[in-house]
Structures are given as structure tokens and as C-alpha cells.
Amino acid sequence: ELKVEQNPLFLSMQEGKNYTIYCNYSTTSDRLYWYRQDPGKSLESLFVLLSNGAVKQEGRLMASLDTKARLSTLHITAAVHDLSATYFCAVVGSDYKLSFGAGTTVTVRA
């Protein structure tokens, strides 16, 4: 059974500083997604990573995938208040189903 672990689960960021969210998964996969969810809202796709070494960037967010280490990172550069949300990673397992991590709740403070 595929297990997906995110850490930290809660992250208090200071504006202007850099932070990283980690997503570890337990079985081989080369397909990983990052989603953002604002409180009370639906999920919004951020990145789709489909191969080892894939790196994608959008604004202050950069995601990467290391399939050998079974690890993806979501790096936040110079945090701003608008980035406050919950971030989920999700991994496609060998059974071709998407398994989600528990989410990382990010709060950006001045």
C-alpha cells in the first residue's frame, strides 16, 4: 500500500524568507502532483511532475521530484501572505490510483 507523508504538517513562515515542504512516498512512482487548497475552497493544481529530476516553477513556488529517493520538495522563495494555504502532494501508485498526503498548512506572518 502506497503511503505518502508530508512534513511539516504545519508551517509558520515569516514574510520574505525561504522554506521547503517535503513529500516522501513509500513505493516506486514517477508521477506526483502538488495541489493548493484555500480554507473552505476546492483544490487547485499547482504542478504535475512526471519524471525523475523534473523541476517546475511558478512564481515563488518550485517543485522537484527525485524518484530514486522517493521524495518531492516544494520550495517557497521569499514568502508572501498570499501563499497562506494548505498544500497537498499526491502520488500515483503502481495500482494507478492517486494517494494524497495529509497536507501542510502554511501561515505567512509579517
Partner 1 sequence: DAEITQSPRHKITETGRQVTLACHQTWNHNNMFWYRQDLGHGLRLIHYSYGVQDTNKGEVSDGYSVSRSNTEDLPLTLESAASSQTSVYFCASSREPWEDTQYFGPGTRLTVL
- When binding is defined by CB under 8 A, the residue of 3, 17, 97, 109 that contacts partner 1 is 97
Is there binding between residue 94 and partner 1 (CB under 8 A)?
A: no
Q: How far apart are alpha carbons 15 and 17 in whole angstroms?
A: 6
Is there binding between residue 85 and partner 1 (CB under 8 A)?
A: no
Is there binding between residue 22 and partner 1 (CB under 8 A)?
A: no
Q: How far apart are alpha carbons 51 and 8 in whole angstroms?
A: 24
Is there binding between residue 45 and partner 1 (CB under 8 A)?
A: yes
- When binding is defined by CB under 8 A, the residue of 55, 69, 78, 102 that contacts partner 1 is 102
What is the grid cell recorded at 31?
Answer: 508521477
Residue number, 50 or 55, with CB nearest to partner 1: 50
Is there binding between residue 78 and partner 1 (CB under 8 A)?
A: no
Q: How many Cα atoms within 13 Å fall on the side-chain side of residue 105?
A: 2
Q: Which stretch binds partner 1 (CB under 8 A): 17-25, 63-71, 77-85, 89-97?
A: 89-97
In angstroms, the Cα distances linking 95 to 26, 29, 81, 91 are 13, 10, 38, 11
Binding stretches for partner 1 (CB under 8 A) = 4, 31, 33, 41-45, 48, 50, 88, 90, 92, 96-103
